[in-house]
């Protein structure tokens, strides 16, 4: 028996941003976005159509962190009345921050208590969110969780609540034009990781697998082309749709071992998230050959019948994009790898993985990705 559910209303298409005012529908709203000039222009268009927001938060960090979220959430407490909807206009960090604000009710300490002690859920609020992603990668516009970082103590949390699914995901590929090479690469690989992680996952189901296959095949085919032609709207649209499919896949499964491996690498070596969670994908793929069932069938739809060859092909795909598949390629020394791997497999996302630590280590050893003897 399996189930699949995603309650988010999706609106997708070029110039879909013009419908944002009708989605706000006269409700008092808060805006969460970035301070960059392009977002200032978009904000001006939104204000002209929907009126002024009751609050604007635009000092969003790339990895939403405890300290800043505490300050930002407190701004909601200073309002005479809470907004009836939050518009999140930006990338994954904006949408994740908006989810934290929606739950905090002006007091981020309530969210911290829930994250750390799993207590006080009844004290958390729920403000509807309209998510308007401006990058293709996060998938946060169709999930019910947000990644929250405590950089001071080197920790990462997932704020997961059913009522954090956005009310609407408004996906307009024209908003993604002008994004630079590095951001396009990292977000595209993040989406690829989401799709593959949803397949080698104990929570996978046939519907999530179909979304994942569609996403993976599109990213592998079209991301290199987009990176060579960043102004191509058709390719932007294809990658945006692929990212959305990846989000619909892992919205039901969460991520798995590649993401758990990535978190300490992002915290400790400042490797961008999309790169940190994707460079181990070939090793993970090699390690799950023979898992059988619809999961292996899905992987073979993407990579062909020989998954070992598929792993080599995926290594080549990443290499051609300038992303190495060894830990040391990203500044992670061999003597740190054993601890990273042990902690990753012991963590929540590691436990989602359908494979084993032993099979991962064997695959890493065969390809020279890892030299644990140096640890």
Q: Which is it for strands 145-150 and 155-160: parallel, antiparallel or unpaired?
A: antiparallel
Determine contact, residues 31/46, Cβ cutoff 8 Å. Answer: yes
The domain defined by 9-174 carries CATH number 3.40.50.1970 = yes
For residues 63 and 175, the model is more confident at: 175
What does the pLDDT look like over 129-156, one tens digit per residue? 999 999 999 999 999 999 999 999 999 9
Record the pTM: 0.96
Task: State phi, psi for 176 to the nearest 5 degrees.
Answer: -95, -10
Mean pLDDT of the chain: 96
pLDDT above 90 for 372: no
Q: How far apart, in Å, do the first and last CA atoms of the chain sit? A: 43
What does the pLDDT look like over 262-289, one tens digit per residue? 999 999 999 999 999 999 999 999 999 9
Q: How far is CA 150 from the centre of its chain?
A: 17
Instruction: Map out the domains of the chain as residue ranges.
Output: 9-174, 177-374
What does the pLDDT look like over 202-250, one tens digit per residue? 999 999 999 999 999 999 999 999 999 999 999 999 999 999 999 999 9
Q: What is the CATH number of domain 177-374?
A: 1.20.1090.10
Mean pLDDT across 82-111: 97
Which residues are CB-neighbours of 18 under 8 A, at least 6 positions away?
A: 49
């Amino acid at each position: 028996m399996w189930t699949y559910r995603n309650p988010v209303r999706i609106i997708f298409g070029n110039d879909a941003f013009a419908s944002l005012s009708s989605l706000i529908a006269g409700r008092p709203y808060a805006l969460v976005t970035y301070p960059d000039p392009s977002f200032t222009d978009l904000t001006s268009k939104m204000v002209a159509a929907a009126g002024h927001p009751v609050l604007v938060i635009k000092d969003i960090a790339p990895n939403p962190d405890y300290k800043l979220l505490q300050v930002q959430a407190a701004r909601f407490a200073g309002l005479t009345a809470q907004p009836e909807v939050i518009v999140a206009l930006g990338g994954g960090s904006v949408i994740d921050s908006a989810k934290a604000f929606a739950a905090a009710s002006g007091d981020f300490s309530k969210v911290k208590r829930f994250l750390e002690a799993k207590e006080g859920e009844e004290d958390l609020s729920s403000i509807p969110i309209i998510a308007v992603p401006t990058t293709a990668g996060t998938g946060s516009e169709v999930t019910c969780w947000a990644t929250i970082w405590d950089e001071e103590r080197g920790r990462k949390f997932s704020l997961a609540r059913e009522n954090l699914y956005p009310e609407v995901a408004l996906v307009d590929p024209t908003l993604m034009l002008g994004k630079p090479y590095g951001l396009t690469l990292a977000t595209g690989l993040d989406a690829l990781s989401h799709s593959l992680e949803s397949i080698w996952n104990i929570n996978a189901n046939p519907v999530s697998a179909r979304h994942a296959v569609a996403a993976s095949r599109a990213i592998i085919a079209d991301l290199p082309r987009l990176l060579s032609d960043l102004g191509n709207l058709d390719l932007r649209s294809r990658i945006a749709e692929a990212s959305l499919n990846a989000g619909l896949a892992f919205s039901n499964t969460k991520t798995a071992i590649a993401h758990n491996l990535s978190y300490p690498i992002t915290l400790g070596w400042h490797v961008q998230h999309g790169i940190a969670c994707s460079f181990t994908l070939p090793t993970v793929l090699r390690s799950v050959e023979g898992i059988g069932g619809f999961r292996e069938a899905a992987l073979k739809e993407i990579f062909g019948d020989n998954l070992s060859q598929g792993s080599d092909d995926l290594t080549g795909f990443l290499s051609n994009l300038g992303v190495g598949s060894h830990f040391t390629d990203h500044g992670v020394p061999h003597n740190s790898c054993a601890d990273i791997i042990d902690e990753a497999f012991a963590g929540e996302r590691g436990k989602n993985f359908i494979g084993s630590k032993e099979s991962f280590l064997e695959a890493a050893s065969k390809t020279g990705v890892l030299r644990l003897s140096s640890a």
